Structure 1
Amino acid sequence: MSYIIMEIKKISSVETYPVRHEVLRKGKPIETCIFKGDDDEQTIHLGLFLDDQLVGIISVFKEQNNLFSETNQFQIRGMAVLEEFQGKGLGTKLVKEAEKHCINLNANVIWFNARENAVPFYEKLDYKIIGDSFLIPEVGIHFVMYKKIH
C-alpha cells in the first residue's frame, strides 16, 4: 500500500505562478500572475504539496478594506488548486492553514474577492458576502467575502 504525503509549507511568490496561471489566469500572460504586494514583508504564500508536487496555493496579504472598521485585516488572494485535485478537501486545508496564520497575527477580519463560482465553497467555511457583486475585467464576477476572527 502506498501513502501520499501531504504537506503545506511556505513558498515564494514565484513558486505560486504556475498554479495561479493554470487555475486563475489560464490563457493570459504569465505576468498577470504577479500580484501587487506579493513580495511585501508581511505577505506569505503557502503551497500544498502531495508527494512533493505543488498542487494548491494560497497567499495572505496584510491589506485593509474600507468595508470593515477593524484595524488588523488580512486578505486572501490567489487561492487555487489544480483542477485534477479539486473536490478532495485540499482547498479547505489551505484556507484553514491561512486562517491559522491570521489568527496567530491577531487578525480581526479575513477578507477576499471570491469568484462567483467559488462562493458556495467559502460559505461552507463560514465566510459571508458583503455588498454587491462586481466585475473584475477579464476575470469575471466577484463578491467580497469575509470572516470576523475576534
Structure 2
Amino acid sequence: MMNLEIRNISSIETYPVRHPVLRAGRPITDCYFEGDDLNTTIHLGIFVEERLHGVATFLMNKDLNIEELISLEHQQCYQLRGMAIKAEIQGQQLGSQLINHAEEMLKNKNVLALWFNARESAVSFYKKKGYQIVSEPFEIATVGIHYKMYKAL
C-alpha cells in the first residue's frame, strides 16, 4: 500500500513534473503558465512516499467559448492547466485520484464547472472521468492537437 498525499504546492514546485511530462526538451521557463501566481490559482501535488509524482493547476477562468454552454459567474468556473503525472508512475490511478480530489475541493469552493484544453492523448482519460469534448480539434504550437473539454461540478 502506497503512502499517498495530495496537498497544495507553489507554482515553482510544479516545474519538476511539468518539465519532463509537458515541456520535455524545452527551456524550464516554459513551465511557467500565465496566471500561475494569482491568489485565486490553486496548485496541487500528489506525493507518494513523500516524493512529488503529479501536479495540476486550477485557474479561475471563464472561457468565452464555454460561456455559450453555461451561464456562470467568473469565480464559478475554473480551468485545469498543467496536469501531469511522472511517466514512471503513470497507470497507477494517481491522475484519477488527483482529479477526484480537485473536483471535491472546487465543489467546496462553490465552483460549478471545470474546463481545460486536453491533449489528444489524454481525451480518453478525461472522458472516463465524465468530461465531454466541446470543441473541434485544434493545434497548440509546439505542443500538439488538443480538444476543449468541460464538466459541470
TM-score (norm 2): 0.93
1:61 corresponding residue in structure 2: 59
Equivalent residue number for residue 122 of structure 1: 126
Answer 1 or 2: which has greater strand percent. Answer: 1
What displacement does 1:70 show?
A: 2.0
Deviations 1:83-116 (A, max 9, x none): 0110110000111111112101111210000000
CA RMSD of aligned residues (A): 0.9
Q: Within the alignment, does 1:143 sit opposite 2:147 as a pair?
A: yes
Gaps of at least 5 residues in structure 1 are none
Per the alignment, residue 18 of structure 1 pairs with 16
- Name segments (4+ residues, structure 1) moved above 4 Å: none
CA deviation profile, 1:2-58 (whole Å, cap 9, x unmatched): x53111111100000010001000000001000011010010111001111100001
The 5 Å alignment of 1:57-96 reads 57-66=55-64, 67-68=66-67, 69-71=71-73, 72-96=76-100
Query: What's the secondary structure of 1:132's corresponding residue?
Result: coil
Distance 2:131 2:60 in 1: 18
Report the Cα offset of residue 81 of structure 1. 0.3
- Unaligned 5+ runs, structure 2: none
Residue identity opposite 1:11 in structure 2: I
